[in-house]
Amino acid sequence: MQSVLTSLGAACGLALLVGCAPISMPEPQEGAAFFAANCTACHGANGRGEGPGAAGLSPKPTDLTLLARNNGGTFPTARALSYIYGDPDGGHLARVMPQFGGAMADDLVPVEVDGILTPTPRALAGLLSYLESIQG
């Protein structure tokens, strides 16, 4: 219940913010910086899952340049965001990835996920933008 109230509060706050001032959305370059700082150890500098930390991992890190191709040519925003930030089944984050959150939730931007504007930490919205930009 607390998480539902928190989500509703964030959504209401975002709606008020959107009504008051334009929100600058993060560009892929902003996401590239986040990727370089947080993801390259496993996913590699090019996002193909060949980072120095990938050798001992099972399963191997995903080739992030193939997300759209493996989803019928459409970048899977909702699924990518759930892996990065949500992961409701506990699978991916429980295995390897760090959990992002905390202070990130203080800087939200609206990301369209399956037709719904979803309050998303700016750093992760930038990461999504970057990942979409590197699709092969």
For residue 5, what pLDDT is reported?
34
Distance in angstroms (rounded) separating the CA atoms of residues 111 and 115: 9
Q: Find tokens 């120095």 and name the residue.
A: 52
Distance in angstroms (rounded) separating the CA atoms of residues 124 and 130: 10
The helix or strand, by DSSP H or E, that contains position 81, with its residue range, turns out to be helix 77-81
Q: How many Å from the N-terminal Cα to the C-terminal Cα in the chain?
A: 41
Rounded to 5 degrees, what are φ and ψ at 7? -65, -40
**What residues of the chain score a pLDDT lower than 70?**
1-22, 86-99, 101
For residue 27, what pLDDT is reported?
93
Q: Answer yes or no: are the C-beta atoms of 9 and 105 closer than 8 Å.
A: no
Nearest CA to 127 out of 77, 69, 53, 52 is that of 77
Distance in angstroms (rounded) separating the CA atoms of residues 65 and 35: 13
How distant is the alpha carbon of residue 63 from its chain centre? 15
- pLDDT tens, residue by residue, 76-85: 999 998 888 7
